[in-house]
Structure 1
Amino acid sequence: MPVQRSNIQALLLKRQQPNEGFTLVEVLVGILLVLIFAAVSMQAFVAATALKVRAQEISEADKWINADLESLKVRATQLDLGGTEYNPFLLACLGDSADDGGSNSTEGYGARLNNDIVTNAPLSGGNANSMTMNSEIGSRPYTLARAFTNVNTSPYNRLAVTYTVTDQADNSVVATFYSELLPDASLVCPAQPS
């Protein structure tokens, strides 16, 4: 046993010489590990920044869509409102503005709301259905477009709205949204026989 102990002590004493430093291989491995760590960290930082910018674009597009949709909902609540009561346009209730016995999607409350919005509530700074808005992210220009579709199922009281926000720089779609509006006046319509 004393022989083994002396060999171990000799190795420990040889390794702990105060005037000896790291070998060249140890230094190169340390530098390589630091460089790998820095490269991976930078890639993660760049990816996080790109995702943050994309999330800001989507959030801002969602904010624009919601603001415009709220203004359309206000128009839907005010359609055919006289004072504090709704005065339903009976032929619109039936989806028949000409009283000719036919009914279709261009004659119901959805169509009345569509005409009211196009006439009285165009997008600010643009035409009735599209406008250009500047983003707060680097002042990049975006286009907010909305499209109306009269719903083709009886009683024709709903108006479908589709929003699209596109980046003007590369024509990429940032956000899309679909909703249907139901004018409050259509809820006052008499029940239709099935």
Structure 2
Amino acid sequence: MLVVELGTLIAGPFAGRLLGDMGARVVKIEDPGRPDPLRTWGQGERDGRRHFWTVHARNKESITLDLRCPDGAAIFLDLVARADVVVENFRPGTLEKWGLGPDRLHEVNPGLVIGRVSGYGQTGPQATRAGYASVAEGVSGLRHLNGFPDRPPPRMALSIGDTLGGMFAVQGILAALLARTTTGRG
């Protein structure tokens, strides 16, 4: 199974990582000159590599492509033609702005499963807002449950909002792959 991963930080890449852990070949696409910020996160490092990055990048191949330019988009669409899954976690409308929304991807590969991870969904009044785990944890009340009554709620060591988002994305992707076995469509 070939998974193409687009996006940065934790939720979408966590979904890609889980699929890689399950045996998928995962190709992570990064923007030239603007690599995933996770490459520099965390305190522990060895030989100039951050441990946090090595955990989130495991079982992945990384390439750089500028999806905004015709050559980069063409290479991406060639990958999509052979892929089973695309996982992305851009703000809603980003792929469509580049002419690479689901309609275009399904023209190239009708069986493609597309997992879109966003903080507030793909549609609705808050869809265009950036989604961050820390905000979701605060808005949901989860942070209120953590810490001490006389102090502000602390950030948990694990980005629970992102990891849960990634896990639920994988569940949806696996269900869509199963449905594809009977429908032939992603």
- Fold agreement, TM-score > 0.5: no
- Higher strand fraction (1 or 2): 1
Q: TM-score, normalising length from structure 2? A: 0.22
Return the structure number with greater relative CO, CA threshold 8 A, min gap 6: 2
Q: Give TM-score scaled by structure 1 length.
A: 0.22
* Structure with greater Cα Rg: 1
